[in-house]
A and B are shown apart, each in its own frame.
Chain A
Amino acid sequence: MSQTITIDPVTRLEGHGKITIQLNGKGEVEDAHFHVTQVRGFERFSEGRPFYEMPSLMARICGICPVSHLIASAKACEAIMSVRIPHTAAQLRRVLNLAQMVQSHALSFFYLASPDLLLGMEADPKVRNILGVAAASPELGRAGIALRRFGQSIIEILGGKRIHPGWVVPGGVTEPLESAQRDKILAMIPEAYANLALALAAYKKIAGQFKHEIEVFANFPSNYLSLINEDESIEFTDGALRIVDATGTIIEDGMTASRYSEAIGEAVEPYSYTKFAYYKPLGYPAGSYRVGPLARLNIVKTMGTPEADAELIEFKQLASGPVESSFYYHHARLVEMLYGIEKIEQILADPRILEKHVRATAGVNRNEGAGQAEAPRGTLHHHYKVDDNGKMLWANLVIATGQNNKAMNLGVLQVAQSYVKGGKFTEGILNRVEAVVRTFDPCLSCSSHAAGQMPLEVLLLSAAGTVLDRVAR
């Protein structure tokens, strides 16, 4: 008789999901699924709204990465307006997006992942949390909080508030940067470098203890997608999309937002409200790909900043081709945070950042527009259609978690097959099944554009579909 394990809710995630593990008659794992169980429907209720409201509406999808939604949405609106925004506005948006990346990665690494990394996958769940991290390594805990503050403070200085700033608008940003604001941000940079160095050193010391997890945490060949600049450096706000295959060979390049829907399709599976994005020429599921920090570092040739470039060289030495284990998302996040700090410093050192012309204006010049940006957890794509008066007729959002969906499901299966033996299901195994999902830092609110509680559950099912075990935390 086969059995199914269900984990519900899965904890330390941005959203509410569930994992089911199906056992066969021998007690071996036959299949496993990661389900996103919430739905909200931002695409539908945006219909009928004026298009220029879209950035502020879409930012409400998520409290962690609203800036990326703001930017992707504003860019879709600018395609409708057919305007090119002022250089200073583009640079200010870049600073805002990098600040968000730093604070979101800090949350993922220090608050969500570090309990596993620092205390161990088998640690008592009562202490395997941020409080346990603080007790075991106050220095690391303080660094995490300070890096979150660094990113959030920059967002607040630029956008007026830490969450859902309304500063990014179609055409640019509402206000230029004042020199006092710039100086305040620059004054925070040295502390951010110091905290990041501490985190990188701690991670490198710890990572060697997770050899088996590295081996089985979604460790398989796949395609990868991200934005990239013409000089092959990393890009979060502009640039064009590149897709590489499992060997690192470029299979699509220079893809602009307007061409996105030609190349990317979305499949639907009956067990999840989140769609499964894939590269159309390869079909589904062969065209599935990964996005986010691991994909970005596998795709780029350079970070474009000196300290992060040194770390990128070290990162790329982890494999002869693309780095495949999703465990290394954690490592990639730290490299990206270092890049974010350096790039913010570079951008703010340019006196043009204080120029006052930061917004272009125009009406509806096209009835369709698309925009893209990198959110901390991967590429975002917003695609809108409007009537001649600018009223929204249709919207489609392709978000990072949907693009990682297939890989997360395969990762859950890989971990379950590696650890669940004879139908036995311990707390440490349960945590590893959750931890592989955490490596992707999925945002389930973004993926389903949903509201509500944020936990996740695991179910163990028999071959006949009977629930044998359920864990809900």
Chain B
Amino acid sequence: MTTSSPMGEAKTRCLVLACGNTLRSDDGVGPKLAEWATERFHENRDVRVVARQQWTPDLAEEIAAADSVLFVDASAKSRPGRVSLTAVPSNRGSGSTGSHHLEAHELIGLTRSLYGSIKSHAMLLTVGAASTQLGEEFSKPVEAALPRAQGLLEKAVLRFLAN
């Protein structure tokens, strides 16, 4: 697994880009899965894992330097503990009024505008959150969903690497 900045480095084949706050209970599931991915792919230089509290515009550079991207996040809209893996739509409009936080599809759009880099391989892995209150423990549904989320993450990365 690579950990250095992508600028001036060899192109990353698969970027795992997680988002969440580990002090907000289930919102920390993204960083938790990123931690697992770091361990799982630590010997694979084609995989780069990045975890942030928010997805900021700066990450467009990282995405442009990767062949494929797997976004990992908690979802407030899904049923608690529901794990889903979906393609990231590349042509949806932006709902952002600020610049501190972008959604996965907005980052893909930003990457295309800035670097002309079109990501045909971009997926979003989400785990439905039951609680985002202050706390460092997951709810029972999210705790129970972790093995399935890890399995899907692994499959998605391996599929990206095989392409």
Measuring CB to CB, which residues of chain A are less than 8 angstroms from any residue of chain B?
11-12, 107, 111-112, 115, 125-127, 129-131, 134-135, 138, 141-142, 144-146, 148-149, 152-153, 454-455, 473
Contact = CB atoms under 8 A, between A and B. Distances in A.
Interface of B: 5, 7, 57-58, 60-61, 93-100, 102, 106, 109-110, 113-115
3 smallest beta-carbon distances between A and B, as pairs: A111-B99, A134-B113, A130-B99
B113 A129 contact: no
B60 A145 contact: yes
Contacts of A148: 58
Chain B interface secondary structure, helix, strand, loop or mixed?
A: loop
Nearest to A139: B114
B99 A145 contact: no
A142 B65 CA distance: 13
A111 B57 contact: yes
B98 A455 contact: yes
Q: Is the interface of A mostly helix, strand, loop or mixed?
A: helix
Contacts of B60: 134, 145
Nearest to A136: B113
Given A125-B97, A454-B100, A473-B97, A149 B58 contact: yes
A430 to B, nearest CB: 12
A136 to B, nearest CB: 9
30 contacts: A11-B97, A11-B98, A12-B97, A12-B98, A12-B99, A111-B57, A111-B99, A112-B99, A115-B99, A126-B93, A126-B94, A127-B94, A129-B94, A129-B99, A130-B99, A130-B102, A131-B109, A131-B110, A131-B113, A134-B57, A134-B110, A134-B113, A138-B115, A141-B114, A145-B114, A148-B58, A149-B5, A454-B100, A455-B98, A473-B97
The residue in A126, A142, A145, A149 that gathers the most chain B C-beta atoms within 10 A of its C-beta is A145
A142 B115 contact: yes
Nearest to B111: A134
Given A131-B106, A131-B110, A134-B114, A145 B57 contact: yes
Contacts of B58: 145, 148-149, 152
Q: Which of B7, B60, B113 has the most CB of A within 10 A?
A: B113
Nearest to B94: A131
Contacts of B115: 138, 142
A229 B97 CA distance: 40
Nearest to A13: B98
